[in-house]
Amino acid sequence: MPITTCVFDAYGTLFDVAAAARIAAAEPGRAAFAAKWPQIAADWRAKQLQYTWLRAVSDTHTDFWQVTQDGLDYALEAAGLADPELRERLMALYFELAAFEEVPEMLAQLKNAGMNTAILSNGSPEMLTGAVESAGIGEHLDAVLSVQTTGVFKPHKSVYDLVGQRFNTSPDQVLFVSSNGWDAAYASHYGFQTVWVNRAGEPMDRLPASPQHILADLSGIAKLAGKL
C-alpha cells in the first residue's frame, strides 16, 4: 500500500541534541565547559538512551525529562564539572532545542503532498511541546505522540502501536524516520517502512531487523515517501 503517514523520532532526528551543549560552550565565562563540551554532549546522549532501555526492561518507568537530567548529571560528573548553574542552563537549552535546518521545508513538502505527519518520541509531552514551539514546526505536524501514554520507552511494541491508533493506518502505510539505528530497526521489525537518518556515517546495528532505507539527512524524505 502507498505511504499515507510519515512519522519522525524527535531527538537527534528533527531536533539537534548537541545544540544545548554547543550553545552553552559559546557563552562567556564557560572556558572549562567549552574545552570538554563535545565529550559531555556525547556522554549525555549515550546515558540518556541507556537509561531509557534499562528502565524499560526493569519496569521502572519515569518521564524523559528525568532520564535527561540523570544523563546530564552523569556526563558532568564524569568531566569533573559539577556546576549547578551550568546544569540548569543546559537543561533550559535542551527544552528549546533547534531543529535541523532542512526540517521545516521537508515537513512542508510532505503536507503539500497530502501526507499525515507526526512525531513519535520518548520525550514527555511538555518537552516535545517546548521543542516544537521553539522550532516553529507545529503547523506542519498533525500529531505529537509521546510514550508517556504507554508507560514504557521505545522500542516496545506498544509505542509503535500509537501510530495506528491515532491515524487508523496499517503499518505498511507508515514511513517511520529516525536517526537512531536501533529505533529504525525495531520499527522495521514492527512492520513500518523505515528510514535511518545516519548523519554520522555509523555502522549498522546487529539486530533482528534493519532499516529499509538509509539517508544522510532529511532533505530526501518527501521524494522517497512519494515513491513508496
DSSP string, 158-204: HHHHHHHHHH---GGGEEEEES-HHHHHHHHHHT-EEEEE-TT-PPP
> CA 70 → CA 23, 62, 64, 75, 187, distances in Å?
20, 11, 10, 9, 26
Give yes or no: 9 in active site. Answer: yes
Q: Across all residues in the chain, what is the average pLDDT?
A: 96
pLDDT at 9: 98
- Is 201's pLDDT higher than 90? yes
Q: What distance in Å separates the CA atoms of residue 117 and residue 13, rounded to the nearest whole number?
A: 14
> How big is the chain by its Cα radius of gyration, in Å?
17
Residue 41 has a pLDDT of 97
pLDDT at 19: 95
pLDDT for 48 beyond 90:
yes
Q: Which of 9, 16, 43, 183 is catalytic?
A: 9
pLDDT of residue 192: 98
Would you state the pLDDT for residue 128? 96
**What is the average pLDDT across 158-183?**
97
CA dist 102 and 27 (Å) reads: 26
Task: State residue 1's pLDDT score.
Answer: 75
The one-character DSSP state at 212 is: S
Please, what are the domains in the chain?
5-15+98-227 (3.40.50.1000), 19-94 (1.10.150.240)
Taking residues 60-77, report their average pLDDT. Answer: 97
CA–CA separation, 45 and 12 (whole Å) = 9
**Between 157-167 and 181-190, two packed helices, what is the crossing angle to 10 degrees?**
60
Amino acid 115: pLDDT: 96
User: Contact at 8 Å (CB) between 50 and 180?
Assistant: no
Q: What share of the chain has pLDDT > 90, as a percent?
A: 98
Q: How confident is the model at residue 228, as a pLDDT?
A: 85
Q: Mean pLDDT throughout 38-61? A: 97
Residue 94: pLDDT band by 50, 70, 90 thresholds? Answer: very high
* Contacts (Cβ under 8 Å, ≥6 apart) of 7: 117, 118, 119, 120, 145, 163, 174, 175, 176, 177, 192
Mean pLDDT along residues 7-36: 96
Helix (H, G, I), strand (E, B) or coil at 66: helix
pLDDT surpasses 90 at 82:
no
Buried b (16+ CB within 10 A) or exposed e, 42-56: ebbbebbbebbeebb
- pLDDT for 42 equals 96
What's the rounded mean pLDDT across residues 9-31? 96
Per the structure block, which three cell numbers stand in for 175? 514511513
